[in-house]
């Protein structure tokens, strides 16, 4: 691996080595489009929403209660709520580092002033343990989340230092980290936290401060796990990855967020210590997990019971848990693996997960969230309450807050740091991994400054235009990721001369002495495509889904005529899906039919001797799909991604379906790929 | 409804009214065959196994610790373990009432002597609450299970009284019941237990004693539930059926065992109070639950998270929870509905559940149990420990004991009372509902004595022979259930003259003046049949299962060649399944193929643009199935009930598969239906 000698200050992840060098929030700006809108809502609505809710439910107040000695009586919320306050602070810090810092700096200072008095003289800081009337410190490593909370505190401190310069929050975080190293280092408690998270944080603190002991402690936590130091539980030790050491595991397992955070921490340790075997072990686990335990959306974790990965190919769409935090954690892991290896497959998964999990969680107004991201919603459920915490996976609508509310602040900090995930540099040039309207300015090796500007209609369109604003007078390479989902169609790259060549999934490169004003254009084919699943994914046998560019689509009952629910849909994959009303991916239309209400009548017993299906009686119709990330934004709805295909012995009639909102004979009807 | 004027003493369920009058353990004996073997193992192995484990894990010792004032320090096990001791006592009492009572009476007396000192002067009895250092009595109705434990205590007391005459256990139970009526009656605590169970028990005590107040209290508990007196929980109030009053609900929902116990209690109340509206409400719920929320095996409850029913048609085979206790509870409910209405559909479901859930749970030696009864097991998992309690759903093998061990004692008490579920009487004659080698002797209206003897090869064969041993010299009617699974084939009934007529699913009757020595014969067609599921059961789309008589079959990896797992199987439903080696339903053989190991290689990403499947390369072979209830008796194995059907565009070649263990040209190869 190469050393990262040139470095930005404002980086969420700042490895000292790796194939690619990340660009920081001071080098990349998102200027418009899909993510700019979401980042604007995040800054203007979500941050305040989270702060207000945490005031209201008492999670911020817990710190004061601890400082005032009344916490044993007055504590509110689950044992890990401190972490959400820290995650909000981290989000605020990155946001402040990216502009409009004024009021955010003051908010950070105010919140920090609430937290500071709760820290004990030896650095211990947790409102759920250790004071009179509470359980003793570190008496419940399995479920207590004390080290997990420190992890987010340390990340908030790192964010504040990098984004705004060291402040009080960073000092609190340093004291806590020192306390952890003293207490859990060699000769200390031989334990790990039931919820991995501190590992990435300690490595980042080592990167920030250059202090080896933080890295050593992170490495110790990674190596200590998997030897059964945590008590067995109802869910087994695999739940907290204490069943098998990281370097011996072959696939991610157990609680999905824990597994992904641990893997991210292991990559951080591997990169900083040059431990290639550890890095290879995590890559292997990532490969197996992506091949066998990941939803079409990039969602991970299929079990509600323990929020865990299922066995290989157990990916039920209707009980998909696919927790938002697991999506965030998957992006964290993929980003670290991309920086370490330079391989575009990691950016492919990050893209899929960002557009179909992370972007799905928040509502359009940024004040309600999905905690779980199911791929099939069968009934409307009870609407979430506007004035109370919701259960985490019980409604077809996003909820303003949860009793366990890890997801909203995790989305907030991810959106706040998102520009840092777009591009990297190396000795040869600049690499674009995610496409958004953006401006990039950085230095190449030798101090040569480059500046570029990206314009795109992504993710609904596949046109990416890169304009060079500044370039040294010597050749360098601009690399553009060609997503794996373009396989089978042709992507095109046009260099500044206008020379146009087909490019394959992976990386497309232009090497030359660029001039300001040069244009590079990438055209990615985004026609909607039928997708089928590996036959070993039993739960979606006999169905097909639609993807268009990086976006997964879904059917929602609000788009169906006649009061039908989505389970009435049967589709005909012999007819290509086409763009629907509004064009450009706002909707997609399929050929299909709706079961008649008579067919939906119950039999007394739903299992019968096999017989030929009756002749179809349903009318063929056009079925409208919308991007999955936008579902449930028009009120309660049933929804499904994987759509049953019609009985094979029914003749396919691809040309005889109506596109709603469009004359049946319109030219556009046949514009499928 | 008619009054039940003639009554046996030894009845688990003894309604005073209803369409049918149950026959007790003093009227029906099982003399051989499938259930006799299981009842023998239950009596000779399971009862002692349960007692030994409850000694070992301290659940019996809890009573002594309570009496001695050290329970706050020494209590072992979850909060509801008292109930399992009571369930064991109930099983012992029914078993004692059915023969070989000697040592069982002594064991019952010894256990009762351990329990008695723990009862407080006012009748309160629970080892988990109420003493110094413990939570106060009734301070946690949601999760505390105090009334639930009383329910099992009362049922044990009723069983002792009916089977052996009133003893000390029955007196303890009466005192507890009186305590409940005093504490939870009008003017008392306005609450219900988080886990229904006491309702059936109080009604049965009322039936035993004739005391109205027990019935009133049961009716009060039924009516009080559904009004949100229990606190909301992570699982919602539907978890304990406190979301909606019983008489307004339309389908069973929430925790499956709770829902079914409550429904059984509601039927008991409805029957005794003549509340036809309440009875009709439960029948409606049963219908909807059977049509939309029940597995092919009769298993109920699809979610692991909260052991609950899923939404309509959410019946994933690989995450089927289908708790054994829910099977027991479903049989309890169906039996009560059968007695109330006389409709054979309730006996149909009881049969399915007895053979495919209740019989599946215990191992062949009666010393290990399935807690959950999945329909698809993908991996072997960790074998259960012989020396420690197991998690409840984590292995492909039965476990000797569980941390939550409700199922073993529930199976034990069900098998002990099983003869009482075989037959009933009414004013016109005798009805046979379940088929087993058995002897029945009872009195018809007017005191006319009848005796009959049943011989059958059930469930593997469909021949039932009834011989009249004693009969009054006047006409009466013998009714025989013709199971719904015979639909499509022909069942035959031969009367004592040998006159043979086709009979349809439902009830077949012979009315005449029977003579001793008369033979009545029922022939049920039991060729193996392909079964398909309602297309709304998304999780099994594109698969088929096999049923033969009342038995569901499954494939197990131990029967597959070449180290294949069951997920390699693809079957061809155009070829009929046939009886396999051993004949008579021991195995069934299908035409199918096994995916090649090459096909099982992972793709980097398991979702691809839809394409025609490649030409089949797998060899056609015979796939051996075994009865589902017998799976996992030959060591660790993967297993599945629903088998994917081969791609439709592969030509079916029904005549070209080999039956393992048999020459390919054997005559038997073509003995499918």
Summarised one tens digit per residue, pLDDT across range B59-78 is: 999 999 999 999 999 999 99
d(C-alpha B80, C-alpha B87), whole Å? 12
Closest CA to A538 of A254, A246, A232, A310: A310
What pLDDT shows up at residue B393?
Answer: 66
Assess if residue A31 is contained within a domain.
no
Sorted by sequence, the CB contacts under 8 Å of residue B614 that are 6+ apart come out as: none
Can you list the alpha helix ranges (DSSP code H) found in A315-454? Answer: 324-341, 344-353, 406-417
The verdict on A446 and A480 lying in the same domain is: yes
Mean predicted confidence (pLDDT) in A631-652: 75
CA torsion sign for B92, B93, B94, B97 is positive
What pLDDT shows up at residue B377?
Answer: 92
A-contacting residues of B 213-252, CB under 8 Å?
Answer: 234-236
What pLDDT shows up at residue B39?
Answer: 97
| Contact assignment for B319 to A317 by CB distance below 8 Å | no
| Contact assignment for B312 to A378 by CB distance below 8 Å | yes
d(C-alpha B260, C-alpha B248), whole Å? 16
- DSSP strand pairing (A476-482 vs A429-432): parallel
What pLDDT shows up at residue A363?
Answer: 94
d(C-alpha B13, C-alpha B97), whole Å? 15
Q: How many secondary structure helices (H) and strands (E) does chain A include? A: 15, 23
pLDDT in tens, B441-497: 999 988 899 999 999 999 999 999 999 999 999 999 999 999 999 988 899 999 999
A-contacting residues of B 304-323, CB under 8 Å?
Answer: 304-305, 310-314, 316-319
Assess if residue B98 is contained within a domain.
yes
The verdict on B471 and B540 lying in the same domain is: no
Assess if residue B39 is contained within a domain.
no
What pLDDT shows up at residue B604?
Answer: 84
Closest CA to A14 of A209, A176, A180: A209
Peptide bond into A526 cis (omega under 30): no
What pLDDT shows up at residue B616?
Answer: 52
Q: Inform me whether the pLDDT recorded for B236 exceeds 60.
A: yes
| Contact assignment for B532 to A291 by CB distance below 8 Å | no
Asked if B370 and B324 count as a contact pair (C-beta separation under 8 A), the reply is yes
Angle at A325 between CA B234 and CA A588, to 5 degrees: 100
Question: Domain boundary residue among A192, A224, A256?
Answer: A224
Chain A residue closest to B403 (CA)? A234
- DSSP strand pairing (B491-494 vs A519-523): unpaired
CA distance A467 to chain B (A): 33
| Contact assignment for B600 to A236 by CB distance below 8 Å | no
The verdict on A232 and A216 lying in the same domain is: no
d(C-alpha B670, C-alpha B577), whole Å? 9
CA distance B23 to chain A (A): 28
d(C-alpha B374, C-alpha B22), whole Å? 32
Assess A377–B contact: CB distance below 8 Å, yes or no.
no
What pLDDT shows up at residue B667?
Answer: 34
Assess A488–B contact: CB distance below 8 Å, yes or no.
yes
pLDDT in tens, B242-292: 999 999 999 999 999 999 999 999 999 999 999 999 999 999 999 999 999
Sorted by sequence, the CB contacts under 8 Å of residue B558 that are 6+ apart come out as: B634, B635, B637
Number of domains in chain B: 4
Assess if residue A399 is contained within a domain.
no
Kindly provide the b/e burial profile for residues B104-122, where b requires at least 16 CB atoms within 10 angstroms of the residue's own CB.
bbebbeebbebbbebbeee
| Contact assignment for B539 to A316 by CB distance below 8 Å | yes
CA distance B385 to chain A (A): 13
| Contact assignment for A536 to B600 by CB distance below 8 Å | yes
Q: Inform me whether the pLDDT recorded for A537 exceeds 70.
A: yes
Closest CA to A291 of B130, B606, B326, B641: B606
The verdict on A479 and A613 lying in the same domain is: no
The verdict on A536 and A487 lying in the same domain is: no
Tokens (6 digits) for B561: 């060649």
Q: How many residues are present in chain B? A: 673
What pLDDT shows up at residue A175?
Answer: 98
The verdict on A103 and A219 lying in the same domain is: yes
A-contacting residues of B 547-586, CB under 8 Å?
Answer: 547, 567, 573
CATH of the domain at B322: 1.50.10.20
Tokens (6 digits) for A561: 């005529």
Kindly provide the b/e burial profile for residues A401-416, where b requires at least 16 CB atoms within 10 angstroms of the residue's own CB.
bbebbbbbbbbbbbbb
Chain A, chain B: beta-carbon pairs less than 8 Å apart: 169
d(C-alpha B51, C-alpha A516), whole Å? 86
What pLDDT shows up at residue A100?
Answer: 63
Q: Quickly state the pLDDT bin for B660 (edges 50, 70, 90).
A: very low
pLDDT in tens, A234-286: 889 999 999 999 999 999 999 999 999 999 999 999 999 999 999 999 999 99
The verdict on B327 and B253 lying in the same domain is: yes
d(C-alpha B630, C-alpha B640), whole Å? 13
Q: In what order do the strands lie in the sheet with A476-482?
A: A21-22, A423-426, A429-432, A476-482, A506-512
| Contact assignment for A290 to B605 by CB distance below 8 Å | yes
Mean predicted confidence (pLDDT) in B631-659: 66
CA distance B529 to chain A (A): 7
The verdict on A114 and A220 lying in the same domain is: yes
Assess B403–A contact: CB distance below 8 Å, yes or no.
yes
Percent of chain B at pLDDT exceeding 90 = 78
pLDDT in tens, B363-411: 999 999 999 999 999 888 778 888 888 877 667 789 999 989 999 999 9
Helices B146-164 and B198-209 pack at an angle, to 10 degrees, of 30
Residue for token pair 């991007």 = A627
The verdict on A234 and A373 lying in the same domain is: yes
Asked if B327 and B373 count as a contact pair (C-beta separation under 8 A), the reply is yes
Residue A159: φ, ψ to 5°? -60, -45
The verdict on B340 and B404 lying in the same domain is: yes
Q: How many secondary structure helices (H) and strands (E) does chain B include? A: 15, 23
d(C-alpha B408, C-alpha B46), whole Å? 8
d(C-alpha B135, C-alpha B469), whole Å? 60
Assess if residue B380 is contained within a domain.
yes
Chain A residues inside the 8 Å CB shell of B403: 234
Assess A343–B contact: CB distance below 8 Å, yes or no.
no
Assess if residue B106 is contained within a domain.
yes
d(C-alpha A214, C-alpha A218), whole Å? 6
Which DSSP state fits A384? P
Q: Which helix (H) or strand (E) holds A366?
A: none
d(C-alpha B646, C-alpha B592), whole Å? 8
Give me the domain span that covers residue A80: 57-224
Peptide bond into A461 cis (omega under 30): no
Residue for token pair 């003749």 = A651
What is the four-CA torsion angle of A328, A332, A335, A341, rounded to 10 degrees? -140
Q: For the ranges B31-40, B187-196, B340-349, B612-621, which has the lowest average pLDDT?
A: B612-621
Question: Domain boundary residue among B418, B445, B471?
Answer: B418
Q: Which helix (H) or strand (E) holds A394?
A: none
Q: Inform me whether the pLDDT recorded for A650 exceeds 80.
A: no
Question: Domain boundary residue among A488, A508, A523?
Answer: A523
What pLDDT shows up at residue B651?
Answer: 35
Assess if residue A12 is contained within a domain.
no
Assess B291–A contact: CB distance below 8 Å, yes or no.
yes
Q: How many residues are present in chain A? A: 673
A-contacting residues of B 160-189, CB under 8 Å?
Answer: none
Radius of gyration of chain A, Cα coordinates, nearest whole angstrom: 25
Mean predicted confidence (pLDDT) in A427-447: 95
What pLDDT shows up at residue A1?
Answer: 64
CB neighbours of residue A540 within 10 Å:
29
What pLDDT shows up at residue A597?
Answer: 72
Q: Inform me whether the pLDDT recorded for A568 exceeds 60.
A: yes
Assess if residue B4 is contained within a domain.
no
Tokens (6 digits) for B526: 């039991």
- CA distances (Å), A194 to each of A43, A308, A562, B89, in order? 32, 14, 50, 41
Q: Quickly state the pLDDT bin for A613 (edges 50, 70, 90).
A: low
Which DSSP state fits A3? B
The verdict on A380 and A236 lying in the same domain is: yes
CA torsion sign for A484, A488, A494, A500 is positive
The verdict on A298 and A390 lying in the same domain is: yes
CB neighbours of residue B216 within 10 Å:
17
Closest CA to B452 of B415, B417, B478, B419: B478
Chain B residues inside the 8 Å CB shell of A294: 606
Assess B650–A contact: CB distance below 8 Å, yes or no.
no
Sorted by sequence, the CB contacts under 8 Å of residue A303 that are 6+ apart come out as: A309, A310, A319, A321, B304, B305, B319
Percent of chain B at pLDDT exceeding 70 = 93
């Amino acid at each position: 691996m190469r050393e990262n000698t040139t470095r930005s200050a404002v980086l969420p992840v700042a490895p000292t080595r790796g194939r690619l060098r990340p660009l920081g929030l001071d080098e990349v700006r998102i200027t418009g489009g899909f993510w700019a809108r979401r980042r604007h809502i995040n800054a203007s609505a979500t941050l305040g929403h989270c702060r207000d809710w945490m005031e209201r439910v008492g999670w911020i107040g817990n710190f004061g209660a601890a400082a005032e000695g009344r916490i044993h009586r007055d504590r509110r919320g689950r044992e890990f709520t401190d972490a959400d306050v820290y995650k909000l602070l981290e989000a605020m810090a990155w946001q402040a580092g990216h502009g409009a810092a004024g009021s955010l700096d003051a908010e950070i200072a105010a919140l920090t002033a609430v937290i500071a008095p709760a820290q004990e003289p030896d650095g211990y800081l947790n409102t759920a343990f250790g004071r009179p009337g509470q359980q003793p410190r570190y008496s419940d490593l399995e479920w207590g989340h004390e080290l997990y909370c420190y992890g987010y505190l340390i990340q908030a401190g790192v964010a504040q230092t990098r984004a705004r310069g060291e402040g009080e929050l960073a000092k609190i975080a340093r004291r806590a980290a020192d306390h952890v190293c003293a207490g859990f280092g060699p000769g200390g408690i031989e334990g790990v936290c039931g919820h991995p998270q501190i590992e990435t944080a300690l490595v980042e603190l080592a990167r920030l401060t250059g202090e080896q002991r933080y890295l050593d402690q992170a490495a110790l936590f990674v190596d200590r796990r998997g030897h059964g130091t945590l008590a067995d539980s109802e869910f087994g030790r695999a739940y907290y990855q204490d069943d098998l050491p990281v370097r011996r595991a072959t696939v991610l397992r157990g609680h999905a967020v824990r597994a992904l955070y641990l893997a991210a921490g292991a990559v951080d340790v591997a990169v900083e210590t040059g431990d290639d075997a550890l890095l290879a072990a995590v890559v292997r686990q990532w490969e197996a997990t992506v091949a066998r335990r990941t939803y079409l959306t990039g969602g991970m974790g299929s079990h509600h019971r323990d929020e865990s990965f299922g066995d290989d190919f157990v990916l039920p769409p209707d009980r998909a848990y696919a927790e938002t935090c697991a999506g965030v954690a998957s992006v964290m892991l993929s980003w670290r693996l991309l920086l370490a290896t330079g391989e575009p497959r990691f950016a492919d998964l990050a893209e899929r997960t960002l557009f179909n999990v992370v972007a799905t969680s928040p509502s359009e107004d940024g004040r309600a969230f999905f905690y779980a991201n199911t791929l099939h919603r069968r009934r409307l459920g009870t609407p979430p309450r506007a004035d109370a915490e919701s259960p985490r996976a019980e409604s077809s609508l996003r909820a303003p807050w949860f009793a366990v509310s890890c997801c909203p602040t995790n989305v907030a900090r991810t959106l706040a740091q998102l520009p840092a995930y777009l591009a990297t540099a190396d000795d040869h040039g600049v690499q674009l991994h995610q496409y958004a309207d953006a401006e990039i300015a950085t230095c190449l090796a030798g101090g040569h400054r480059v500046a570029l500007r990206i314009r795109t209609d992504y993710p609904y369109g596949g046109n990416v235009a890169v304009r060079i604003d500044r370039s040294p007078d010597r050749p360098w390479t601009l690399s553009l990721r060609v997503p794996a989902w373009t396989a089978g169609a042709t992507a095109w790259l046009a260099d500044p001369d206008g020379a146009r060549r087909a490019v394959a999934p992976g990386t497309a490169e232009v090497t030359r002495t660029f001039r300001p004003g040069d244009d590079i254009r990438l055209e990615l084919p985004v026609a909607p495509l039928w997708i089928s699943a590996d036959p070993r994914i039993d739960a979606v046998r006999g169905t097909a889904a639609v993807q268009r560019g990086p976006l997964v689509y879904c059917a929602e009952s609000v788009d169906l005529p006649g009061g039908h629910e989505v389970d009435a849909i049967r589709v005909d994959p012999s007819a290509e899906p086409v763009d629907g009303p509004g064009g450009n991916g706002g909707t997609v239309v399929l050929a299909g039919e709706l079961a008649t209400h008579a067919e939906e009548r119950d039999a007394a017993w739903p299992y019968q001797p096999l017989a030929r299906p009756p002749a179809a009686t349903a009318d063929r119709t056009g079925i409208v799909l919308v991007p999955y990330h936008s579902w449930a934004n028009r009120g309660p709805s049933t929804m499904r991604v994987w759509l049953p295909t019609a009985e094979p012995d029914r003749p396919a009639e691809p040309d005889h379906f109506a596109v709603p909102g469009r004359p049946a004979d319109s030219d556009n009807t046949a514009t499928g790929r």
